[in-house]
């Protein structure tokens, strides 16, 4: 599917979990700009990220501090390959880690600064998970309000359970202390959830358990030169378009412990009059979520060399 006349689009950038061994290999083989982007990442980080993306091992690539810069690099490589064919960009949004890709795409931070920041973010998140062990779970088939009540009931004075990702209608991820998550899973199943299952993650992301990582991320972001974006980026924290650098810096820190309001974010973009979305980077998870949130929009994912060829050739 092409976008007739290269109409104005919203860019979507995927988050952690979309990485895979072999990512970027076909891009680098087909596009010199993609090869240059992965080489730039290797140089900025001081280790061969491109080799890890292409060849693994998977156990290393999936580690938080490696997966985050890998996904950002893949997304920016794809974006650079299709930039001339995109037409007008109205705004962008990214899921968790993907919001950093969105700010790089909008010109608020350089690619190198974005890489080093998400590498540090991943290290801090991993350390936070080690300092206070927690987990996350997916809950399918229940309304947001029901999941919120389940989380409140599952929490105690010493154990936390909160919504972490509002991904779409009837699709919520919860996060917190392991015992509280187990109580919430049992309650969700008893409340008629279609599915309630623990996720294979290294920490309780987007929950108060990540508070220990906030100061380190804020310190890192303070060292990054931010510019106002060329186009607004919808914040995970507020689900509103952000147009200034100072607010972006503050909300990227708050994002560590705040839920990802993805459903509201997509609704906010549609409310701006945008009807065409392009997911830029590995996988098509966000394209799938968007179809559950807003059916009356056009969307496509661009993550491979074949996707790029099809997009560029489309009318």
- pLDDT tens for residues 217-235? 999 999 999 999 999 999 9
Q: Please say whether the beta carbons of 2 and 311 come within 8 A.
A: yes
Average pLDDT over residues 33-60: 97
Same domain, 11 and 104: yes
CATH number reported for the structural domain that contains residue 171 in this entry? 3.30.70.250
Tell me which of 202, 221, 238 is where a domain ends.
202
Same domain, 111 and 65: yes
Q: Which of 206, 235, 265, 299 is catalytic?
A: 206
Strand partners, 298: 276
The pTM assigned to this predicted structure is 0.95
Same domain, 149 and 120: no
Same domain, 90 and 213: yes
Q: Which of 18, 75, 96, 207 is catalytic?
A: 96
pLDDT digits (tens, 9 = 90+) for 137-172: 999 999 999 999 999 999 998 999 999 999 999 999
Same domain, 125 and 235: yes
Is 70 exceeded by the pLDDT of residue 306?
A: yes
Phi, psi angle pair for 16, to nearest 5°: -60, 140
Q: How far apart are CA 282 and CA 278, in angstroms?
A: 12
Cis check: omega of the bond before 159, within 30 degrees of 0:
no
Tell me which of 143, 177, 202 is where a domain ends.
202
Its domain, for residue 175, covers 134-202
Is 80 exceeded by the pLDDT of residue 5?
A: no
Same domain, 273 and 217: yes
CATH number reported for the structural domain that contains residue 15 in this entry? 3.40.366.10
Is 50 exceeded by the pLDDT of residue 15?
A: yes
Q: Is 96 a catalytic residue?
A: yes
pLDDT digits (tens, 9 = 90+) for 242-277: 999 999 999 999 999 999 999 999 999 999 999 999
Same domain, 13 and 118: yes
Is 80 exceeded by the pLDDT of residue 4?
A: no
pLDDT bracket for residue 186 (50, 70, 90): very high
Kindly write down the DSSP assignment for every residue of 3-38, as one continuous string. -GGG--EEEEE--TT---TTTTHHHHHH-HHHHHHH
Q: How far apart are CA 231 and CA 219, in angstroms?
A: 25
């Amino acid at each position: 599917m092409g976008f007739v006349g290269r109409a104005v689009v919203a860019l979507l950038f995927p988050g952690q979990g979309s990485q895979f061994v072999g990512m970027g290999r076909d891009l680098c083989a087909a596009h010199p700009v993609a090869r240059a982007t992965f080489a730039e990442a290797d140089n900025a980080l001081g280790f061969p990220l491109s080799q890890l993306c292409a060849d693994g091992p998977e156990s290393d690539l999936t580690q938080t501090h490696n997966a985050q810069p890998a996904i950002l690099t893949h997304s920016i490589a794809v974006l650079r390959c299709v930039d001339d064919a995109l037409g007008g960009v109205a705004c962008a949004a990214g899921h968790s880690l993907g919001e950093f890709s969105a700010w790089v795409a909008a010109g608020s931070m350089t690619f190198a600064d974005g890489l080093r920041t998400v590498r540090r973010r991943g290290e801090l998140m991993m350390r936070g998970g080690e300092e206070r062990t927690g987990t996350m779970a997916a809950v399918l088939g229940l309304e947001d309000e029901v999941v919120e009540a389940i989380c409140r009931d599952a929490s105690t004075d010493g154990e936390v359970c909160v919504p972490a990702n509002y991904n779409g209608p009837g699709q919520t991820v919860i996060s917190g202390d392991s015992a509280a998550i187990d109580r919430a899973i049992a309650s969700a199943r008893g409340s008629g959830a279609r599915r309630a299952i623990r996720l294979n993650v290294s920490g309780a992301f987007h929950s108060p358990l990540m508070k220990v990582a906030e100061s380190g991320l804020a310190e890192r972001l303070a060292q990054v030169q931010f510019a106002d974006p060329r186009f607004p980026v919808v914040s995970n924290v507020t689900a509103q378009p952000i147009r200034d650098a100072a607010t972006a810096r503050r909300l990227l820190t708050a994002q560590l412990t705040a839920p990802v309001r993805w459903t509201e974010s997509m609704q906010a973009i549609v409310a701006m009059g945008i009807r065409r979305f392009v997911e830029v980077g590995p996988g098509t998870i966000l394209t799938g979520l968007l179809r559950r949130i807003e059916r009356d929009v056009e969307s496509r994912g661009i993550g491979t060399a074949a996707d790029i060829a099809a997009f560029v050739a489309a009318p």
